[in-house]
Structure 1
Amino acid sequence: MTDDTRSPEELRAMFSENLRRLAQQHRSISALCRKLGVNRTQFNRYLTGESVPRPDVLDRICRFFDVDARILLKPLDEIEKSESHPATSALTEFLGSGSDAIEKSPFAPGFYAVIESLSDEHRMTLLHARPLTQCTLIRGYVSRAAMPEAPPQAREIQGIAACSGDTVYMLTSQRGGHNSRVYLISPDATGTAVQWRGSVVNSADTSNPEPVVLKYLGHDSAAIFAAARLSTNNLAQHF
């Protein structure tokens, strides 16, 4: 037996602490349990360290929060620090004053429906957020309704997001630097289904910022596919 062997009690305590931190990303534990497909009473037992999930439930929790099974073994901060990406140093240099200038964006991992009001029309984008140590990687596709003749590769979007103060900065672009966008958003306090509100600037028209809202879809397959199917004009009616 190795010297660093931990008891079941220590493993349960480690998991419960990590799970509490992950659960804080969500406003409602009941809603979180429904998304995970976990009984609320059993989830509370995980949170208090009374038990740990069986392997299939642990896999579901890890995939939902975009972490791995090390949440049984290490503090969450140590797991996150093991990941790095070139975007982190580039964003730090762009925003200035060293690594303390930025924090990891508070986006929960999962999918978001992004609605931009463009004068008399609306543009919908479905984006996925993957948080890393100091920034969040963004990937998605412009809706077919917005670009009906374009192949998926042309509609692909990639970007990064980070937090500075109370504002989240998000930079996205299609391939080749086409349709680059800078978002400045803050948490929405109105209590609606929209989690973020702010403005977006298109690189083609930097003098005309437009309002934007983000709705968190998480990992709810039905909500994700429903948002993807809706046209830009129809989707705007839901926000």
Structure 2
Amino acid sequence: MSVLSARIGENFSRNLRNLCATRVSVSLICREIGINRQQFDRYLTGSAMPSAHNLRRIAAYFALSEKELLSPRLEDSRSGPGLDPQSSFAAALRPEPGELASLRHYLGFYHYYFLTPSWPGQVQCGLLQLYERDHRVLTRYVGRVENPDYGRITRSRFDGHAVLRGDRIFILEHARGPVDGFGQTILYAAHRHQANYLTGMASGIGWHPHRGPFASRLIIRRLRMTLSLREALAQCGLFRVDGSNLDPIVRNFFSSGENMLMTG
């Protein structure tokens, strides 16, 4: 192996490890890409390089070019493809003084509950992570639902960026999947000792039975640190609004009688 090839291999394995650190789990990444876990581990350790086909699949999964994935220093600080770091939107995402310290109180994993427009009378639960990277707070949402109409498992994931403005936490999200899309979550900030439950509003595009805009009130519940990711994901899915298997605080929140869901 030439010195250049060895250096490219080191770049790739380092970049891949950094990218995987922002995801829920390596096992989930392997399932979503469709690559054997044992083979993927060899990529992470640098003991093997992927084929051209697998390299394209990995790059597409992380929304990167193959060149970026092999580069000496992957630019994680960019806000998105083609986004000018000097633009007014990029400037709005920069942390304000004291913001990062305040947002650190909310880092961790949550179950994310909202009324889904796809199945009336049902609450959908997904897994939300808030984590810090490069002096920013980023988010990762993973949804797993067994479609009650067809019995198939449907998965979704969103990558986002969280900012704190006043007493609101804004999460701007980009969906990764067959059809890209965007969503927004607005949460009411809480005292740092009362952050087990947060409420707010979610808006986005429904996918079943047709793609249409919707907005729903939501509530998120912080997960205990001893709960494994496998257990947390297994608890996601659809719940009846009045179901006894729904967290009592979440059930009471959605049974308040207020207009919780708007569709268009």
Compute the TM-score of the two structures, normalised by the length of structure 2.
Answer: 0.45
Larger helix percent: 1
